[in-house]
Amino acid sequence: MTSVSDLIATIDPGRPLLLLDADEVLLRFVERLEQYLATQGAELRLSSFQLSGNIFHRGSETPVPPEHVRDHIAGFFDACVDDVPLVDGARDALDGLREVYQIAILSNVPSRCRDRREASLKAQGLDYPVIANKGEKGPGARTLADAVSAHTVFIDDLPPQHTSVAAHAPEIHRVHFIGDPRLAKLIGKAPDAHVRFNDWPTLGDHLHALAQGQRP
Ligand SMILES: [Mg+2]
């Protein structure tokens, strides 16, 4: 089971560290979630950047209550964590970036699904350690950043995670990234991120430039 301390034992302190979220950064989470909800007689209506309040039983105008949203998300991970497809360009970009960065995936996947998520990513060409985080990511990012003398980069689609990392580890370079184009249109750059991108080729160029000390 990969934990923050397991990962630290393998980290090279002299190499930059890239901490990647999985859902909507590496994986097409929302697209796969919509397919799952259809099997449950439910649907996602993307009118704002959140799940709660936007999941409906088919034909209903009343959103399902928050506890049912949680049940749907839990059911989604149990049923689908093995076959969530990659965001376009992620694998090719990381193949180039792994020369420069040590890469780890900091995902709020339920811990019971961590092994399956890591195996699924590996099967799709992303052979990187997966840490199953719970809740805010700032504390874990702080601990990991302290294990390297080189710089750390954090990438996530959720604005509150940028706020958390900014509070705990302000020196980490924070990239707001949203893989689904429909979701990407719903919000601007997270206030506590440094930059925002929606596609992997552009993000990859930014990360290469950062590693060369040229923050664009
Ligand atoms: Mg995410």
Q: What is the pLDDT of residues 148-192, one digit of tens each?
A: 999 999 999 999 999 999 999 999 999 999 999 999 999 999 999
Amino acid at 53: G
> To 5 degrees, how large is the angle CA 108–CA 160–CA 202?
80
Distance (Å) from CA 156 to ligand 1 centroid:
6
This model's pTM is above 0.85: yes
- Over range 28-33, report the average pLDDT: 97
For 38-88, write each residue's pLDDT tens digit.
999 999 999 999 999 999 999 999 999 999 999 999 999 999 999 999 999
User: Any idea which architecture 4-28+85-211 has in CATH?
Assistant: 3-Layer(aba) Sandwich (3.40)
Question: Which residue bears the tokens 């649907």?
Answer: 43
Task: Give residue 108 CA to ligand 1 midpoint distance, Å.
Answer: 8
Q: What is the Cα–Cα distance from 154 to 137, expressed in whole angstroms?
A: 10
Calculate mean pLDDT across residues 125-144: 97
In angstroms, what is the span from residue 139 Cα to ligand 1's centroid? 17
Measured between alpha carbons, how far is 159 from 156 in angstroms, rounded to an integer? Answer: 8
CA of 192 to the centre of ligand 1 (A): 16
Average of per-residue pLDDT values in the chain = 95
Structure tokens of 151? 């710089």
Q: What does the domain layout of the chain look like in residue ranges?
A: 4-28+85-211, 30-83
Q: How far is the CA of 24 from the centre of ligand 1 (A)?
A: 5
Q: How far is the CA of 209 from the centre of ligand 1 (A)?
A: 24
The per-residue pLDDT for 216 is 40
Q: How far is the CA of 31 from the centre of ligand 1 (A)?
A: 13
Confidence category of residue 213, pLDDT binned at 50, 70, 90: confident
Residue 89, Ramachandran bin (φ over 0: left; ψ between -120 and 50: alpha; else beta): left
Per-residue pLDDT at 90: 98
Share of the chain above pLDDT 70, in %: 98
Cα–Cα distance for residue pair 39/42, rounded to 1 Å: 7
Are the beta carbons of 7 and 129 closer than 8 angstroms? yes
Residue 57: enclosing H or E segment and its boundaries?
Answer: strand 55-57
Residue 180 and residue 200 in contact, taking contact as beta carbons nearer than 8 Å: no
How far, in Å, is the centroid of ligand 1 from the Cα of 21?
5
What is the rounded CA–CA span in Å between residue 170 and residue 185? 27
| Nearest CA among 16, 194, 39, 13 for reference residue 99 | 16
